[in-house]
Each structure stands twice: as C-alpha cells, then as structure tokens.
Amino acid sequence: MAETKKIIENRRARYEYHILDTYEAGIVLEGMEVKSLREGNVSLQDSYAKVEDGQAFLYDAHINPYNNADIRGYNAKRKRKLLLHRKEIRKLLGKTQQSGFTLVPIRMYFNENGMAKVVIAIAKGKQLYDKREDIKKEDMRREKATAMKERNRE
C-alpha cells in the first residue's frame, strides 16, 4: 500500500453521520497553506463540501496561517476547490440533491507524492437514538476488551 502521512481526521463526522460512500479529492491550496498543513494546523470541524456550477468546493475548513508568512488579507476559512473527475462530481451532485444527504470531509493527508488530499463522504445525518446506540456499542466493545485483557492476565 502507498505511504501516506495523515494530517487530520474528522472523528466527529463518523459520530454525527452515517457514511455511505467516500471519494478521494485533491485540494487547491496556496503555498503557505501547504506549509501550515505540514505542521498540522488545520481543523475540519463544521466543514462541508458542496457542488456548484459543475465544480466541488470545501467550505469552512480552518487552515491557520503559516507562522513565517505574510498573512495580510488571508482568510483561514475561505472556500477551496476540490479536484475530482467530472463523473465523480455528477455522482456527488445527484446524491446531494436528494433530501438528507450531504458531503462531509472525513480526513486530510499527504499522499506518497507529497500532494494534499481530502477524503469526502456522502453522508446522511444520524438521529439521536442512532448516536446513543453507537455509544452503547462502543462501551460494550470497550468493556469486552477490558474483560479479555483481565482474563489474559490471570
């Protein structure tokens, strides 16, 4: 498998949404944003993607300015273009026009060629009872793992 360097993962997205399908997209960045990403100064919380005029964009992804750069006029939450194939964009547009579906970024990383990539997912919002069920499952898994660990010690 190819070597990747993870920058950030949006764990909250898996809690808030049912993930149906994922797509890997390139992202158009300015020079200082790339350097800032390499330092891990990014937040995907409350960010989302949207298809407009046949192009995909990432909104509200907060990339802090690079420390050694001139930041006059820099907007940390500007919309950033996502690089996808036309066929993928048509699929995303078709899915997101259905009620209840949205595009959320799952994680951001650098691939083996040093290119910044973002994984976006077609997702459907979870209801409160779904979230509670996930918490119960996680607690049961954790208790089971603890019990197995205790049993193996004896």
Q: What is the DSSP string of 33-81?
A: HHHHHHTT-EE-TT-EEEEETTEEEEES-EEPPPTTS--TT--TT--EE
Number of domains, the chain: 1
d(CA 82, CA 96): 16
Phi, psi of 54 (to 5 degrees): 75, 15
Classify residue 147: in a domain, yes or no: no
pLDDT at 77: 86
Domain that holds residue 60: 5-125
- DSSP label at residue 30: -
Classify residue 85: in a domain, yes or no: yes
Average pLDDT over residues 11-39: 88
Q: Are 89 and 120 in contact (CB under 8 A)?
A: no
d(CA 19, CA 11): 12
Classify residue 71: in a domain, yes or no: yes
> What CATH number did the domain enclosing 75 receive?
2.40.280.10
Classify residue 144: in a domain, yes or no: no
Phi, psi of 37 (to 5 degrees): -65, -40
Asked whether the predicted pLDDT for residue 52 surpasses 80, the reply is yes
CA angle 121, 97, 127 (to 5 degrees): 60
Of 4 and 29, the one with more pLDDT: 29
| pLDDT tens per residue across span 61-99 | 988 888 777 777 788 888 999 999 999 999 999 888 888
Classify residue 135: in a domain, yes or no: no
Asked whether the predicted pLDDT for residue 134 surpasses 90, the reply is no
Q: What percent of the chain has pLDDT over 90?
A: 36
Classify residue 132: in a domain, yes or no: no
